[in-house]
Chains A and B, each alone.
Chain A
Amino acid sequence: MELEELKSAWTQMSDELNHQKKLTNQIILDMTKQKYQNKFTTITKYETLGAVVCFVVAFFVLLNFSKLDTWYLQVCGVLTLSFLIVLPVMVLTTLKRLKNIDILNGSYKENLKFYLKTKNRLLRLQKIGIAVGFIALFFIVPVTSKIISNKNVFLTSLKTEQYIVFAITLIIMVFFCRWAYNGYLKITQSAQELIQELE
Chain B
Amino acid sequence: MQKEAVFTDLIREHQSLLYKVTSIYSDNKEDQEDLFQEIVYQLWKYFDSFRNDSKITTWMYRVAMNTSITFIKKKKRRPDSVPIADVFVKQSDSNDDTYEERLRLLYQHLKYLNTLEKGLIFLLLEGKSYKEIAQITGLNDSNVGTKISRIKKKLKINMAKQ
**Interface positions of A (Cβ within 8 A of B):** 1-3, 5-7, 9-14, 16-25, 27-32, 34-38, 41-42, 103-105, 108, 194, 197-199
Q: A1-B159, A7-B125, A23-B84 are in contact. Are A16 and B93 (CB under 8 A)?
A: yes
- Beta-carbon contact of B92 and A31 below 8 Å: no
Partner of A34, one of B20, B81, B87, B88: B81
Q: Are A20 and B105 in contact (CB under 8 A)?
A: no
Within the complex, the shortest CB–CB distance from B106 to chain A, in Å, comes to 5
The answer, among B16, B49, B88, B126, for a CB contact under 8 Å with A199, is: B49
| Chain B residues with CB below 8 A from A30, complex form | 82
Within 8 Å CB of A14, what residues of B? 16, 20, 126
Which single member of A2, A38, A197 contacts B78 (CB below 8 Å)?
Answer: A38
Q: A19 to B5, alpha carbons, bound, how many Å?
A: 21
Q: A14-B20, A16-B92, A32-B44 are in contact. Are A24 and B87 (CB under 8 A)?
A: yes
* B48 is an interface residue with CB less than 8 A from chain A: yes
Total contacting residues, chain B, CB less than 8 A: 49
Within 8 A of A (CB), among B1-43: 4-5, 7-9, 11-13, 15-16, 19-20, 37-38, 40-41
B90-103 interface code vs A (CB 8 A; 1 in, 0 out): 11111000010011
Question: Would you call A22 and B87 a contact (CB within 8 A)?
Answer: yes
B91 touches A16 (CB 8 A): yes
A-B pairs with lowest CB-CB distance, top 3: A17-B16, A35-B41, A25-B8
Q: Is the interface of B mostly helix, strand, loop or mixed?
A: helix
Contact assessment for B125 and A31 in the assembled complex, using a CB-CB cutoff below 8 Å:
no
Cross-chain contact B5 with A22 (CB below 8 angstroms): no
B134 within 8 Å of A by Cβ?
no
Contact in complex: B106, A3 (CB < 8 Å)? no
* 15 additional A-B residue pairs with CB within 8 Å, beyond A198-B48, A199-B49: A6-B125, A6-B155, A12-B99, A13-B92, A16-B92, A17-B15, A17-B20, A21-B15, A29-B4, A31-B82, A32-B40, A34-B82, A35-B38, A198-B45, A198-B46
Contact call A20/B99, Cβ cutoff below 8 A? no
Q: List 5 A-B contacts (CB under 8 A).
A: A11-B125, A20-B89, A23-B11, A31-B37, A198-B49
Report if B152 contacts A (CB, 8 A).
yes
Given known A32-B44, A41-B80, contact A9–B87 (CB-CB < 8 A): no
Assuming the contacts A31-B40, A31-B82, A34-B81, asked whether A104 and B4 have C-beta atoms less than 8 A apart, the reply is yes
